[in-house]
Chain A
Amino acid sequence: MLSLRIALRFLTSSKVQTIGIALGIAVGISVQVFVGTLIISLQQSLVEATIGNAPHITVLAADDGLYIDDWQPYIQTIEGVGDVRDVSVSLSTNVLMNTPDDRTFPGLVRGFEIENSDGIYDISSRIYEGTAPDSNGEVLVGLENQEEYGLSIGDTLEVTLGNGSIQDVTISGFFDFEVATLNEGWVISNLGTVQSLLDEGDVVSAIEMQVGDPFSADSTAKKVEKAIASDKVVVSNWKTENEQLLGALAAQGQSSYMIQFFVIIAVFIAIASILAISVTQKSKQLGILKAMGITDVQSSLIFMFQGLFLGVIGGALGVGLGYGLFMGFIVGASSSISPFVDWGFIIGSGVMAVAASTIASMIPAVKSLRLNPIEVIRNG
């Protein structure tokens, strides 16, 4: 195809200019890829930090302070709802812990069926010393408390419940969730221990679960509610409890779109103006081609193909550069953000470069239509 060949030849015969434009596009697109990927990773990290080791949906007793007693059948019902996974129960109560050297700290004793709850909290792998409670009366204490109160495995803690009853538990190990408030606030035990502490029978305070797509946790929660169909319980989800976070994420997403928008505008203007200049540069060639009978479509295509190629080269370079920068930045800075590479977004950015530069090249293409061969021929 003639237009294609001429376009390629125009590009290859002025290599410096071509490389310059392609690099310009590449820089724009690399900024787009870098910033976009960084923001996506930040958001993912934030969401992961917030809900990675937390229930996405929680079923609680409808009345405050009451427990769910007929919880066993609910489990099966909930597990039947699509997208739900890692369903487990917990029984929690606020207590005061008295240490062997007679100091006191407040804590939330949380009783889990630890193997089931691992799906959400990953408790087993958080134990850095000792073992999970395997018989009743054993508890795990957090890192900060161990250090503060000089605790060791086998120590006995005196537990004072809200109702005033006092019982002893033994430390079987220590955990570290890497979140100080959890380490300080939680005392982890098994379900049986907490049930016997409370002496309320076979009850739980919450049925907890995660879902495949955390961002549709609200609609999944509705399904759970419908499936249980009981007014003795209420169903909540992480989204209603984290509206601020979601708002922040949305705002971040918006700013990311803004950046991307302006990058694309910049690429667009650059290509349009540079190719427009090249119409003037190549006016002699265009003039004679027109005299020889090149059609308007063919002459337009010469510029559109140039735009297309510049977009493809610049886009590919930009994607590579942006991705490289991002990985270098993340790995090099060994930051707390774990890289999340959204290939859809990255490839989309490349495609956008190609689309923007091809569309931008329509401006010089149209300009080329107005070029009158006589002007060229008359003016030598």
Chain B
Amino acid sequence: MGNVLELKGIEKTYFGAVDTKVLHGIDLAFEEGSFNSIIGQSGSGKSTLLNIIGTLDKPTKGLVFVDGQDTSKMGKMKLAKLRNQTIGFVFQFHYLLPEFTALENILMPIQISGKRVDGKTKAKAEELCELVGISEVRNNNSTKMSGGQQQRCAIARALMNQPKIILADEPTGNLDSDTTAQIYSLFRDVNAKLKTTFIIVTHDRRIAEEADRIVEIKDGRVFLDIKR
């Protein structure tokens, strides 16, 4: 299969009182449908890299190709659309909208895309609730769920638009080991069923070793790249 994501010579410098160069020329490509993990010490630049991949941040130098498109040539509107259609985000914190119910949060990406919520999309959202195991609390306000339920709800939301890529930055950082295991097997299921590409940043080596590929970042460079 082809590459759904390509990074070419990515450099990132944070400009400030002291300029900090965080990424020093990263070249990576991710195959469609692959399940990848990114590991590395705290401060090595993992989140910075993931945000650049997700077009939330811009590299100081280098190019990001998402689904074959050069994102440096895209305007704000196009990038927003790309993120909405092609990328799903899962962060360490769930970032559910507290004003809405779990189900409404899951439907949010569809609504952002401008599509109407009809019976079919609603059924799909319910299905996702089922998949991540929050059916019982789907009509709860998002603040009225447990931490694990909230994170699973955020995952369902990331899956709603059937994005080609899921970017997850320490998605289980706040969860206990049982819930963590559940969530990874959920990721694996989705990866197998929908051929969604996963890129997961984690501290946890054991989790990383479950992935098809481990990329280790050290001091802003690719230190290890192991495919299995």
Chain A bound to chain B:
yes
B112 and A373 contact, CB distance less than 8 A: no
By a beta-carbon cutoff of 8 Å, the part of chain B in contact with chain A is 47, 51, 54, 56-57, 76-77, 80-85, 89, 91-93, 95, 97-100, 108-109, 111-114, 157
**Number of A residues contacting the other chain (C-beta, 8 Å)?**
25
Interface string of A288-328 (1 = CB under 8 A from B): 11111111101000000000000000000000000000000
In the complex with contacts A290-B80, A293-B81, A374-B112 CB distance below 8 A? no
CB-based contact A13/B56 at 8 Å: no
Kindly state the separation between the CA atoms of A285 and B51 in the bound complex, as whole angstroms.
18
Residue contact B111 to A2, C-beta cutoff 8 Å: yes
Contacting residues, chain A, for B56 (C-beta < 8 A): 291, 373-374, 377
A380 proximal to B (CB < 8 A): yes
Residues of A within 8 A of B98 (CB): 13, 285
Q: Which residues of A contact B76 (CB under 8 A)?
A: 295-296
Question: Could you tell me if B77 and A295 are in contact, using CB atoms closer than 8 angstroms?
Answer: yes
Task: Check if A292 sits within 8 Å of B77, measured CB to CB.
Answer: no
Q: Known contacts A293-B80, A293-B112; can you find 7 more A-B pairs with CB under 8 A?
A: A291-B56, A292-B83, A292-B157, A296-B80, A377-B51, A378-B47, A380-B93
A350 at the interface (CB under 8 A from B): no
- Report if A288-B47 is in contact (Cβ < 8 Å); known contacts: A293-B85, A293-B112, A380-B92: no
Give which listed residue, A2, A6, A377, contacts B95 with CB less than 8 A.
A377
Cβ of A285: which chain B residues have Cβ within 8 Å of it? 97-99
B84 touches A292 (CB 8 A): yes
Check: A177 CB closer than 8 A to any chain B CB.
no
- In the assembled complex, the Cα of A158 lies from the Cα of B103 at a distance in Å of 99
Q: Which residues of B contact A284 (CB under 8 A)?
A: 95
Tell me what chain A mostly uses at the interface: helix, strand, loop, or mixed: helix
0 or 1 for each of A1-36: is its CB under 8 Å from B? (1 = yes): 010011001100100000000000000000000000
Across the two chains, which residue of chain A brings its CB closest to B107?
A2
CA distance A376 to B76 in the complex (A): 18
Q: Give A residues with C-beta under 8 Å from B.
A: 2, 5-6, 9-10, 13, 284-285, 287-296, 298, 373-374, 376-378, 380
User: What residues of chain A lie closer than 8 Å to B92, measured between beta carbons?
Assistant: 380
Q: Report the Cα distance A138→B89, complex, angstroms.
A: 101
Interface core residue of A293, A295, A374 (most chain B CB under 10 Å):
A293
Shortest CB distance A332–B (Å): 43
Please state if B108 and A289 are interface contacts (CB–CB under 8 Å).
yes
Task: Contact check, B57 vs A292: say whether CB atoms are below 8 A apart.
Answer: no
What B residues does A293 contact at CB under 8 A? 80-85, 109, 112-113
- A13 proximity list for chain B (CB < 8 A): 98-99
B112 partner, pick from A292, A296, A378, A380, beta carbons under 8 A:
A292
The distance from the CB of A299 to the nearest CB of chain B, in whole angstroms, is 10
Tell me how far the C-beta of A301 lies from the nearest C-beta in chain B, rounded to whole angstroms: 12
Determine the distance from Cα of A13 to Cα of B57 in the docked complex, in whole angstroms.
31
A6 to B99, CA, bound (A): 8
When distances are taken between beta carbons in the complex, the residues of chain B under 8 Å from A289 are 97, 108, 112
Pick from B91, B109, B112: contact of A377, CB below 8 A: B91
A298–B111 alpha-carbon span in the complex (Å): 11
B95 and A288 contacting across the interface, CB-CB below 8 Å: yes
**Bound state CA distance, A376 and B80, in angstroms?**
17
